[in-house]
């Protein structure tokens, strides 16, 4: 075996092999055995690199699953809370309208419930639950559920949401409940 450098073995600047290289282990071995050992080393290195890559992929997948579980574990609860927020809004809409300076007990009750609703919605938003009113926006089948279609009023493009019965609810950007909407069709 010659001491001349080649591409398969690392050498120092003076042409001598680096300590700990495969050539050191095979210095006194027959040439065929040295080739077998070098091939086995290359195969083991390849297996090791593949195992490292697989472990990194596994770590990444596990982290992604943990993040999803952390962000979306409360989906069912959030959907129920969104229903409660919608019912609170329906109750407020059922109360008679009040005017400025009205001292009626119903006006005070309405004002109190509106404050509760604002605080409730703010608390939901702090935890990633958001409501979006789609009125006036283009119909999006990913976020909206068309409950009816009406002829488009003048100045409204067909396919636009003209009335929303409920808002679209999302949890950290993922749809919880679609908005129940009325969509503008072709003009009459």
CA–CA gap between residue 104 and residue 39 (Å, rounded): 92
What pLDDT is attached to residue 1? 46
What pLDDT is attached to residue 22? 53
What pLDDT is attached to residue 68? 85
Residue 188 confidence (pLDDT) above 60: yes
Task: Find, among 156, 158, 160, 155, the residue nearest to 135 by Cα.
Answer: 160
Say what the pTM is.
0.64
Each residue's pLDDT tens digit, 3-62: 444 445 555 556 665 555 555 555 565 677 888 899 999 999 999 999 999 999 999 999
Each residue's pLDDT tens digit, 56-85: 999 999 999 998 888 888 889 999 999 999
Residue 182's pLDDT band, with cuts at 50, 70 and 90, is very high
CA–CA gap between residue 162 and residue 142 (Å, rounded): 17
Distances (CA, A) of 168 to 55, 57, 102, 121: 40, 35, 33, 13
Strand order in the sheet with 129-132: 129-132, 168-171, 174-177
**Interval 162-168 mean pLDDT:** 94
Each residue's pLDDT tens digit, 83-142: 999 999 999 999 888 777 777 888 888 889 999 999 999 999 999 999 999 999 999 999
CA–CA gap between residue 35 and residue 33 (Å, rounded): 5
What pLDDT is attached to residue 27? 58
């Amino acid at each position: 075996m010659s001491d001349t450098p080649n591409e398969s073995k690392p050498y120092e600047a003076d042409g001598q092999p680096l300590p700990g290289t495969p050539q050191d282990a095979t210095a006194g071995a027959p040439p065929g055995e040295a080739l077998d050992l070098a091939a086995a080393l290359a195969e083991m290195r390849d297996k090791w690199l593949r195992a490292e890559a697989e472990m990194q992929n596994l770590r990444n997948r596990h982290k992604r699953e943990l993040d999803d579980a952390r962000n979306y574990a409360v989906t069912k609860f959030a959907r129920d809370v969104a229903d409660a927020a919608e019912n609170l809004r329906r109750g407020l809409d059922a109360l008679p309208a009040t005017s400025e300076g009205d001292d009626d007990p119903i006006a005070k009750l309405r004002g109190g419930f509106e404050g509760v609703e604002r605080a409730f919605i703010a608390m939901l938003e702090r935890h990633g639950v958001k409501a979006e009113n789609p009125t006036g926006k283009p119909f999006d089948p990913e976020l909206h559920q068309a409950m009816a279609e009406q002829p488009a009023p003048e100045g409204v493009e067909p396919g636009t949401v003209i009335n929303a019965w409920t808002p679209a609810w999302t949890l950290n950007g993922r749809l919880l409940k679609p908005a129940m909407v009325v969509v503008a069709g072709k003009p009459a």
